[in-house]
Amino acid sequence: MAELLTSRLGYLLKHAQLNFSQSGARALESLGINGRQLAVLVVLDAAEPLSQLDAANELGVDRTTMVALVDELEAKGLVERRRSPDDRRKNIVELTAHGKNTLAEGERRHQETEKTFLADLTPIEADLFVRILKKLAADAEAPVDQPETATGKEKKVD
Amino acid sequence: MAELLTSRLGYLLKHAQLNFSQSGARALESLGINGRQLAVLVVLDAAEPLSQLDAANELGVDRTTMVALVDELEAKGLVERRRSPDDRRKNIVELTAHGKNTLAEGERRHQETEKTFLADLTPIEADLFVRILKKLAADAEAPVDQPETATGKEKKVD
DNA sequence: GCAAATCATCAGTGCCACTGACAATCAGTC
DNA sequence: GACTGATTGTCAGTGGCACTGATGATTTGC
């Protein structure tokens, strides 16, 4: 692969993300979970017990996706579903002891991976990078104004 | 969605990428192409005509994926396949006139999108951000050493 | 001239995310 | 208390995307 695209933001973001998630996957491999599953454990390890929908919202996934995610974790014995006594439509999902241990070790490895990933940067650079990334990840809904339609600069091709 | 995951590198990269690609998609929508297709046009618009495999390598996608990509662009009349006279196993893929026009306008919008996306940053920040991103996107193959296995720190859970 | 490599293609698979439908349950209203 | 509408979890189906593996055509090396 050559240099043509390597200054495109989309390309860079995609491949940075790819690299990082692969590093994460490798680090978690021997724990028997992947990054998504670890993320689910993270959100479930809250003060208040969460329903599947709560967890899905926290994680930013669809509630139908959360079904499979919890299925997987339950099959591994990391979490348990139980009916909420307050609202019997809800599944309260809680970590098992095994789940808590896996979470702790997973988090340790996750932090190790982040550290390794940013190891080439100075602390100042790393900090700035994360700050910028937060900003860029945040304005999800903020509609980017489209100057071509807004200013009439849009060109018809052919 | 709350704050639990929003300092995780993986989460931030994923959502920054998502935001950007959505902005790009919106900007290109009325052109009838998406970001991937624009990227293909970019790599195909080279001095030397490229085969499908060349383009796939350039773009970092599988050769089987490139088949469909070229199919789409050919259906839109943006590129043309023709057999290479030098090596008749190869499909030379070239931009049509329509393809060139679409590429030019797409590139204009792409740059606009990048500018908008980085608009909140100072020029120095934007520059640093891109530089860092290039570094992180680059070391694709560089195997992350796994301290837990390398140093014997690995813990068994349960 | 023959075996091995290369290229484009296609079918199949897997992952991920979504939509739409359904049953169970809850909340509000009359 | 019964009815209506909303909420939650589940499942089936769909679509995008990327890959593997197989096939056929062609080229290359010996």
All residues at 6 or more sequence positions from B112 whose CB lies less than 8 Å from its CB, including other chains: A147, A148, B27
Note the pLDDT of residue B40: 94
Residue B142 pLDDT level (bands cut at 50, 70, 90): very low
DSSP state of A92: E
* Residue A68, token pair as written in the block: 């499979």
Interface mutation target, options A7, A61, A144, A155, chain B, most CBs of B under 10 Å: A144
Sole residue written with tokens 């993300």: A17
Q: What is the mean pLDDT of residues B106-112?
A: 92
Q: What is the DSSP letter of B143?
A: P
Dist CA A155 CA B60 (whole Å): 30
Is pLDDT of B152 > 50?
A: no
Rg of chain A (C-alpha set): 20
Q: Cβ–Cβ of A158/B4 closer than 8 Å?
A: no
Selection from B157, B48, B47, B35 nearest residue B107 by Cα = B35
Size of interface A-B (CB pairs under 8 A): 203
Which bases of chain D are contacted by protein, using any atom under 7 A from a CB?
A: 7-13, 17-21, 24-28
Domain residues of chain B, as ranges? 22-135
What percent of chain B lies above the pLDDT cut of 70?
83
Reported as type and span, the H/E element at residue B94 is strand B91-95
Whether B33 shows a pLDDT value over 60: the answer reads: yes
Q: Which of B17, B42, B44 is nearest to B105 (CA)?
A: B42
Identify residue A88 by its one-letter amino acid code: R
Output the CATH code of domain A23-136: 1.10.10.10
The token duo for B89 is: 């196993």
Query: Does B155 score more than 50 pLDDT?
Result: no
Query: What pLDDT, on a 0 to 100 scale, did the predictor assign at position B144?
Result: 36
To the question of domain B22-135 being in CATH 1.10.10.10, the answer is yes
Which residue of A59, A128, A149 is in closest CB contact with B128? A128
Q: Assess B59–A contact: CB distance below 8 Å, yes or no.
A: yes
Mean pLDDT over residues B144-151, rounded?
A: 34
Mean pLDDT of B78-85: 94
Q: From CA B155, how far away is CA B134, in angstroms rounded?
A: 34
Token digits of residue A54:
């709560």
Backbone angles phi, psi at B43, to 5 degrees: -70, -30
Kindly give the parts of chain A with pLDDT less than 50: 1, 140-157
Interface of B with A in 3-22 (CB under 8 A): 4-21
Report, as an integer, the average pLDDT of B43-54. 90
pLDDT value, residue A78: 96
- β-pairing, A79-83 vs B50-51, is unpaired
For A68-88, how does the pLDDT look when each residue is reduced to its tens digit (9 = 90+)?
A: 999 999 999 999 999 999 999
List, in order, residues 6 or more apart from A152 with CB less than 8 Å away: none
Residue of A nearest to B15 (CA): A137
Beta strands in chain A (DSSP E): 50-51, 79-83, 91-95
- Intra-chain end-to-end CA distance of chain A, in Å: 32
Quick one: pLDDT band at residue B7, thresholds 50, 70, 90? low
The gap between B66 CA and C8 C1' (Å) is: 10
Q: What is the pLDDT of residue B126?
A: 87
Residues 83-142 of A with CB under 8 A from B: 97-98, 101-102, 104-105, 109-110, 112-114, 116-118, 120-121, 125, 128-130, 132-140
